[in-house]
Structure formats: structure tokens, C-alpha cells
């Protein structure tokens, strides 16, 4: 038996392990154990979703941000960024282009930009939902009050992505300035769940200060929150941040964690991220083979994509637009999958055959 295999078997059966066993499992990661894990996690993903990969059309509508997170390329104090905001009509044009291709979920992602007040966001949401009533709308616009989240939900938003980044207070303080707190980030996630959003959390793999202990705490928090979506990707440095000299995260550990998360929450919506595609030419495909089931190609106008750089050398800033659908389909076909024309909502778990 491979060292660590019994821990994977136990996680598969119980959906969670005590912290000490999670640490031991993370420390046991190696290519042989990866292969064993992926043989299970990929099968689980196929049981839940078939070989259909959900697509989300990503619209990066503002790169202004009031925050100064130490890892982020669009942080407030980065004076090298050419800032932009898309108009409502530009956002709608992105949706129109995506809808023609087959996208049935749009993701509005941006920095925490005070210009986009609740009232402005409500109007944008209503216009998108009015023109595309059969589509789901996901927001990824940071920390807000519960009242603000409720207003945006009432306007028609369906899902909300908010990476928790780390479930350890001391580690959170290593990544963020003092005015940001893990307690408030968690409050936001619990508020979003209580309101009725499909909620996504997640973290960077290999962020400065991360340890097997903090990763185990991330997995325990995700188990407690039980989100519908989980977004993880390797930490990638940006040259105009305090972490410019920090090493990038590991693709291998990222894939291993995708596999573990698939065992923990079999029906979770887990993207194979652009960060994976950035760190390795076949990173997106490898993410699917590890158990991911979502891809998020970029629908933003080509003239602003290069300005939305959270990290250096971001993949596909110049080409990943409408024409990328065919390229993505080709990539998925190469590993035996296809893109789905579907909202890709979170669904109850499909109970397939057990491992043993």
C-alpha cells in the first residue's frame, strides 16, 4: 500500500479528517499518491457531472481597488496599473458575445471599487438579468455589509465568490494590511450563505507563510462552511507587490488539493483556474483530470485584459475571448470531456458506487 493511501481512503469515507491526519496527508503528497487520489477524485467528478465541463464567462469590469493586499497586482498602492472601469453597455456587450457562444453564467469580478455603489450594481444586475433571464449571475466584488449583499441578491445575483485566502488569523495578517481581518471575511461568507447565494470560497496554494498546518485549517473551514463552489490556484507573484520576490506556489500541491476537495464535497463546483493554465501549458486540463469541473474563460474587452493582472504573466490576457471557446473545447476533447451549454447550478449529490 502507498504511504498515505489509507488516509485518502478514510477521507473518501468520512468526508473530513482530524487536523493531525490532514497534516500527515498533505505531507505525504508525492506522484504515486497523486495518481491514487486522482483515480478516485476524477471518478467522483464524472459520477456527479458526467464528462461535461461547466463554463463561466468572466467579465473583469473594474481594476480599481480600495484595498492594499500584499499579494495582489491591482492593490491600491500600485501606481503602475492603468486603471479602468467598464460601462454598463460594455458589460452587456460582453454578455451578448458570451451568450452567442453558449455561456449561461456570467461572473462580474472586480476590485473593491467604491464607484460601484449598491445602487449602480443593482442597476447593472437588473439589466443583465432582464436581457438574459435564463442565465446565472455570479458576483466577485469583495467584502460588503449583509444589507448590501441582500440588496444585490434581491436585484437578481445568484452566486458570490469570495476567497477566504486562509483560515488562520496569523497567516491572514501576513497576507493583508491591518484594516482587513479574517473574522470579517468569514462573517461575509456566512452572511452570503444565510441570504441564499450559492457561495464560493477558496485560497491560494503556496502563499507566503502557508504551512501544512494552515492548509489543514483551510480544509476544516471549508468542511464547516460547506460552500457550493471552491476556487483554489497556485500563488503567483506580481512584481509590483511586497511579495515580488516570493516563490510561486506548486502546481502539484494545487492539483492534490483539488483532488482532496472533490473527495470532501463530491458535488462542489471546482474551477480549473487561469492560474493553473499560467503555471503550466496543460494546467487547465490537469486540473480537470484531478477532479475540477469548471473553466472560466475571459469575456472582458481585449483592450483592458492586460490591466487586470493580479499576478505576473497571466495566461491568455490577449486571446482568451470569444474565439477561445473553440480552443477550450479542443482542450477538453483532448482529455475526453466537452464544454456544457448550461448554467451549471449546484445540484444535490449523485450517489454513485462506493470505492470498496
Residues contacting 29, CB < 8 A, separation 6+? 4, 252, 253, 256
3-state helix, strand, coil split of the chain in percent (to 5) is 45, 15, 45
> Which secondary structure element, helix H or strand E, spans residue 94, and what is its range?
helix 88-101
CB atoms within 10 A of CB 46: 16
Q: How far apart are CA 329 and CA 53, in angstroms?
A: 9
Q: Quick one: how far is CA 122 from the chain centroid?
A: 23
**Was 257 annotated as part of a binding site?**
no
Residue with cell 491591482: 74
Residues contacting 331, CB < 8 A, separation 6+? 284, 285
How many DSSP H helices and E strands does the chain contain?
14, 9
Q: How far apart are CA 257 and CA 349, in angstroms?
A: 20
Contact 200, 231 (CB under 8 A): yes
**Three-class DSSP category at 11:** helix
**Was 316 annotated as part of a binding site?**
no
**Was 165 annotated as part of a binding site?**
yes
Phi, psi of 134 (to 5 degrees): -90, 5
Q: How far apart are CA 98 and CA 139, in angstroms?
A: 16
Q: 1 exposed, middle or buried (CB, 10 Å; 0-12, 13-18, 19+)?
A: exposed
Q: Quick one: how far is CA 279 from the chain centroid?
A: 16
**Was 65 annotated as part of a binding site?**
yes
**Was 179 annotated as part of a binding site?**
no
Instruction: List the binding residues.
Output: 65, 69, 72, 140, 165, 185, 236
Instruction: List the binding residues for S-adenosyl-L-methionine.
Output: 165, 185, 236
Instruction: List the binding residues for (3R)-3-methyl-D-ornithine.
Output: 140
Instruction: List the binding residues for [4Fe-4S] cluster.
Output: 65, 69, 72
Amino acid at each position: 500500500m502507498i504511504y498515505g493511501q489509507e488516509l485518502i481512503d478514510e477521507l473518501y469515507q468520512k468526508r473530513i479528517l482530524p487536523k493531525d491526519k490532514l497534516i500527515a496527508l498533505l505531507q505525504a503528497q508525492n506522484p504515486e499518491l497523486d495518481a491514487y487520489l486522482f483515480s478516485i477524485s476524477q471518478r467522483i467528478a464524472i459520477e456527479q457531472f458526467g464528462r461535461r465541463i461547466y463554463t463561466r464567462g468572466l467579465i473583469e469590469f473594474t481594476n480599481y481597488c480600495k484595498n492594499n493586499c500584499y499579494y495582489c497586482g491591482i492593490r491600491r498602492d500600485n501606481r503602475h496599473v492603468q486603471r479602468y472601469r467598464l460601462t454598463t453597455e460594455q458589460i452587456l456587450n460582453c454578455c451578448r458575445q458570451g451568450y452567442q457562444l453558449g455561456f449561461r453564467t456570467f461572473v462580474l469580478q472586480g476590485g473593491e471599487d467604491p464607484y460601484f455603489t449598491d445602487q449602480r450594481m443593482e442597476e447593472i444586475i437588473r439589466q443583465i438579468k432582464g436581457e438574459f433571464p435564463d442565465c446565472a449571475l455570479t458576483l466577485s466584488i469583495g467584502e460588503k455589509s449583509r444589507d448590501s449583499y441582500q440588496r444585490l441578491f434581491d436585484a437578481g445575483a445568484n452566486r458570490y465568490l469570495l476567497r477566504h485566502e486562509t483560515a488562520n488569523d496569523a497567516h491572514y495578517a501576513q497576507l493583508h494590511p491591518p484594516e482587513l481581518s479574517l473574522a470579517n471575511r468569514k462573517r461575509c461568507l456566512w452572511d452570503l450563505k444565510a441570504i441564499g447565494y450559492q457561495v464560493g470560497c477558496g485560497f491560494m496554494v503556496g502563499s507566503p507563510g502557508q504551512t501544512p498546518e494552515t492548509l489543514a485549517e483551510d480544509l476544516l473551514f471549508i468542511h464547516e462552511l460547506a460552500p457550493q463552489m471552491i476556487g483554489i490556484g497556485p500563488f503567483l507573484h506580481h512584481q509590483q507587490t511586497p511579495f515580488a520576490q516570493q516563490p510561486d506556489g506548486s502546481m502539484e500541491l494545487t492539483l492534490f488539493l483539488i483532488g482532496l476537495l472533490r473527495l470532501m464535497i463530491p458535488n462542489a463546483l471546482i474551477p480549473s483556474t487561469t492560474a493553473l493554465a499560467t503555471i503550466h501549458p496543460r494546467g487547465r486540463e490537469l486540473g480537470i483530470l484531478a477532479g475540477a469541473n469548471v473553466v472560466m474563460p475571459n469575456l472582458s474587452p481585449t483592450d483592458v485584459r492586460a490591466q487586470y493582472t493580479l499576478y505576473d504573466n497571466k495566461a491568455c490576457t490577449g486571446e482568451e475571448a470569444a474565439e477561445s471557446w473553440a480552443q477550450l473545447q479542443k482542450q477538453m476533447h483532448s482529455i475526453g470531456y466537452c464544454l456544457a451549454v448550461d448554467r451549471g447550478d449546484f445540484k444535490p449529490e449523485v450517489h454513485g458506487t462506493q470505492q470498496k
